[in-house]
Chains A and B, each alone.
Chain A
Amino acid sequence: MAGRHVAGSEDPPGGSTTPAAEAATATRDLTRMSADELSRALRAGEVTSVMVTQAHLDRIAAVDGAVHAFLHVAAEEALATARDVDARRAAGEELHPLAGVPIAVKDVVVTKGLPTTAGSRILEGWVPPYDATLVERLKAAGMPILGKTNMDEFAMGSSTEHSAYGNTHNPWDLDRIPGGSGGGSAAAVAAYEAPLAIGTDTGGSIRQPGAVTGTVGVKPTYGGVSRYGLIALASSLDQAGPVTRTVLDSALLHEVIGGHDRRDSTSLPEPLPDLVGAARLGSSGDLTGVRVGVVHELNGDGYQPGVRARFEESLELLRGAGAEVVEVSCPHFEYALAAYYLILPSEASSNLAKFDGMRFGLRVVPTDGPATAERVMGATRGAGFGDEVKRRIILGTYALSAGYYDAYYGSAQKVRTLIQRDFEAAFEQADVLVSPTAPTTAFKLGEKLDDPLAMYLNDVATIPANLAGVPGMSVPNGVSDDGLPVGFQILAPARADDRLYRVGAALEALLERGWGAPLLSRAPELPTAPLTEGTAR
């Protein structure tokens, strides 16, 4: 972080812009602009990062009382970064294209000096002593971090209702869930509180919130973005990625955070494909020669009629753009959910063993009997973990306990092989695979909280990609009969993330030609509900 700035020693915001440019931007709402548009305006000297960052902080202050996307707002730090970027730009320094464009970060990613809770009481008040690699990369690019976003506790959930710090509300309808686990990041972007956000996706936690909030979400190829500094849920499934309002913005952000990191041994050594180039190519709307495979198993009963209708219309658009649409079968996808129930809790129970009250976070000392380390651990974890986390740790402990390991975790790993084979066969017939992202639109807050199985069904279309490590994207492709947004999922072979961007950008361009405006412009105006001083902010 740059050194402390003395008040009054700065150029005023907009000091380096021309009066004409200032007049031109005065009518523009900076929070409605895409990251790409902000990047251009910043580079052209039409706006400063302080103006852009302050506009988003003002928006957060105005609406986050209603949305509750943020657990912590880092106004001072974000503005310090913005001032630093503006000064460097004014001095003629060569900067990253996204320098000065602010971003929100899911609270499962550690940020030096900013509280990081992963949505759990057990980490309340914890301030990490280091930055995740992806955060270092955001900082190196000069991107102000607006704050940390709400999520299901330790990323376990599909609605953000399992956060220990209250619900996040879907900006399309405040009585509905924003998806999960990364509901905060998706809601922040959909509510124009941030142009960009970081999410993590273990079974759909970037893509499903994207679908139900009308935003774009990308799960990169496993190992495509460093996980150093991510609080792990299930290590063989987790991946961090972009949450944005446009496909091009996701490509721009993906290129900032992606690429090899020697501190993550699962990080892919090869360079990223040209993602921004693929998005720009796709935005022409031409998909001549691209083979699109419709996954038979991910488009049937259980998908809301409006979701299916929008899906069929999108396929028609892709055909019209010259794509060859074929049907493919992935017969083992129907076992993905069961394998996920076994793999995720097993890995989570192991990963969450480190929250033991010894080195960081909460420590609860039992008041009765001897305060041994073992009893302190039990009391700390009993008090610090929420219901869903306890449930999954117990499930994982059972699956990994003596005598069960082979039959449980081992069998699930075999299903993983079968799903990978399904993908391999399907990708011989198609360049990308497609399906609806989520079976339904956003449900009401509280509606499925007591039914874990119904909750998991949200992820039925997204989980196979995590099990096989392939990349996936959700692109908003309309609203269902209830007026709520739905998403179109695109999957590509491992390391071919560029295909997502080409097809996603093409679909986005074709849809917006028909709509005349981005889907999010149809979301209702949010009520002004100022942030109140309270806990966990």
Chain B
Amino acid sequence: MSTISREEVARLAGLARIDLTEPELNRLAGELDVIVESVARVSEVATSDVPATSHPLPLTNVFREDVVEAALPVEDALAGAPSAEGGRFAVPQILEED
């Protein structure tokens, strides 16, 4: 019995913008317990007195001078685009029409 339901997997796939087929949904629902087991495992030692480490080595933010530098030419940036028009990426409709 898996802890993450098929419906939950469908919801997560929606959040992640991945269309899954019915067989994929069924299979993944059985394969996600690893995450719950992992949480149980780390919870054994991840107590409130232990600080979290976000980054393996301590680094501070890096700034540079705000100056204009040479950048990728527009035509190069668009060369691998599925669709381009007038020097821009051409994308499907983003907003619903009222």
Contact = CB atoms under 8 A, between A and B. Distances in A.
A418 interface: yes
Contact of A349 (B16, B53, B92): B16
Interface stretch (A37-45, A153-161, A393-401): A393-401
A213 B55 CA distance: 31
A452 B38 CA distance: 14
A390 B39 contact: no
Contacts, number: 182
A376 interface: yes
A385 B51 CA distance: 35
B72 A453 contact: no
B19 A414 contact: no
A372 B94 contact: yes
A332 B94 contact: no
Interface string A352-366: 010011111111011
Interface string B1-34: 0001000110011111111110010001001101
A137 interface: no
Contacts of A469: 55-57
B93 to A, nearest CB: 5
Interface string A108-139: 00000000000000000011111000000000
A467 to B, nearest CB: 7
Given A236-B55, A362-B82, A372 B93 contact: yes
A263 to B, nearest CB: 10
Interface in B23-72: 24, 28, 31-32, 34-35, 37-39, 41-47, 50-57, 59, 61-62, 64, 72
Contacts of A417: 50-53
Contacts of A466: 56
B81 A359 contact: yes
A358 B28 contact: no
Interface in A482-506: 494
Given A129-B76, A413-B53, A342 B38 contact: yes
Interface residues of A, number: 78
B42 to A, nearest CB: 5
- Interface centre among B47, B80, B83, by most chain A C-beta atoms within 10 angstroms, is B80
Contacts of B93: 370-373
A467 B56 contact: yes
Given A127-B79, A335-B42, A338-B42, A452 B53 contact: no
Contact of B17 (A127, A377, A420): A377
B20 A382 contact: yes
A358 B50 CA distance: 42
A372 B91 CA distance: 9
Contacts of B43: 407, 411
Contacts of A128: 80
A265 interface: yes
A126 B64 CA distance: 31
Given A362-B82, A373-B94, A338 B76 contact: no
Nearest to A385: B18
Contact of A398 (B35, B72, B76, B83): B35
Contacts of A335: 41-42, 44-45
Contacts of A104: none
B35 A395 contact: yes
B32 A394 contact: yes
Nearest to B77: A129
A374 B17 contact: yes
Interface string A463-477: 000111110000000
Q: What 10 A-B pairs come out closest when comparing CB atoms?
A: A469-B56, A382-B19, A363-B82, A413-B52, A338-B41, A414-B46, A411-B46, A129-B76, A341-B38, A338-B38
Interface of A: 126-130, 221-223, 236-237, 262, 265-266, 268, 332, 335, 337-339, 341-342, 345, 349, 353, 356-363, 365-366, 370-379, 381-383, 385, 387, 390-391, 393-395, 397-399, 401, 407-408, 410-418, 420, 452-453, 466-470, 494
Given A223-B59, A414-B52, 15 more contacts: A129-B80, A222-B57, A266-B59, A349-B16, A353-B17, A357-B82, A375-B92, A379-B19, A390-B18, A395-B32, A410-B46, A411-B39, A413-B53, A415-B46, A494-B57
24 contacts: A130-B72, A222-B56, A265-B59, A265-B61, A342-B42, A345-B35, A353-B17, A362-B82, A372-B94, A373-B92, A375-B92, A381-B16, A387-B24, A391-B28, A394-B16, A394-B32, A395-B34, A397-B12, A398-B8, A398-B12, A410-B52, A452-B34, A466-B56, A469-B56
